[in-house]
A = this chain, B = another copy of it.
Amino acid sequence: MSIDVGQRRRFSPDARREQILSVAVRLFGERGYAEVSTTDVAREAGVARGLINHYFGTKKDLYLEVIRVMLTVPPVALASLPDGDLPVRIDAIVGWFLDVVSRHSQSWLAAITAGGMAGDAEVDRAISSAIDAAADAVLTAVGFSAVTPTLHAMARSYVGLATSTAREWLERGVLTRDQVHRLLSLTLLTMVSSVFGDA
């Protein structure tokens, strides 16, 4: 509840951008796109509303940056996946996915389901990129080097399964992590051995 004794202060453009963006990430993560006004972001950032447009352009442009932040995931542990046989590698990639999703749950899950506005072309493209990244991670984990478009599409489908299953766990709270892990592992094993081969 800082009443913000608003002495006007100058910041470096990068610092100001970052400050506004962090507030926007928090607000858009809590509520949806339509429920957050640029006035809200400006007020909580202690800044004039016009400054948001100055730095980010349109409200939708700001939202796009927010989505990219929320969907950006440290692809670190990808290299440290074990070298065992297929079931072991599948177990590892599923565990990695569940770790990432549960850690960023309130933002990642919200963003990947277009928390506020699907149907928009640019938003869809940003989400699609995140799905691509996850699909690539799955494919490399299970050891596919030559990726045909068909195979890639099937991996994207699997990411859809992983997302909806994770939501049953994290948002609706009816599945346990173990159940989710088991479902996703067995399903991926089936898809790799029986379906991906035809791609």
Contact = CB atoms under 8 A, between A and B. Distances in A.
A79 B141 CA distance: 42
Contacts of A190: 186-187, 190
Secondary structure of the A contact surface, majority rule: helix
Contact of A183 (B115, B157, B168, B186): B157
Interface stretch (A48-56, A86-94, A158-166): A158-166
Contacts of A113: 114, 118
Copies in the complex: 2
A47 interface: no
A67 to B, nearest CB: 13
Interface string A102-114: 0000000010011
Contacts of A157: 161, 164-165, 168, 175, 183
Contacts of A110: 119
A31 interface: yes
B187 A174 contact: no
B31 A119 contact: yes
Contact of A32 (B119, B149, B175, B182): B119
A32 B117 CA distance: 8
A186 to B, nearest CB: 5
Contacts of A33: 117, 119
A116 interface: yes
A45 to B, nearest CB: 22
A-B pairs, top 7 by smallest CB distance, nearest first, are: A160-B164, A32-B119, A161-B161, A157-B165, A190-B190, A153-B174, A153-B168
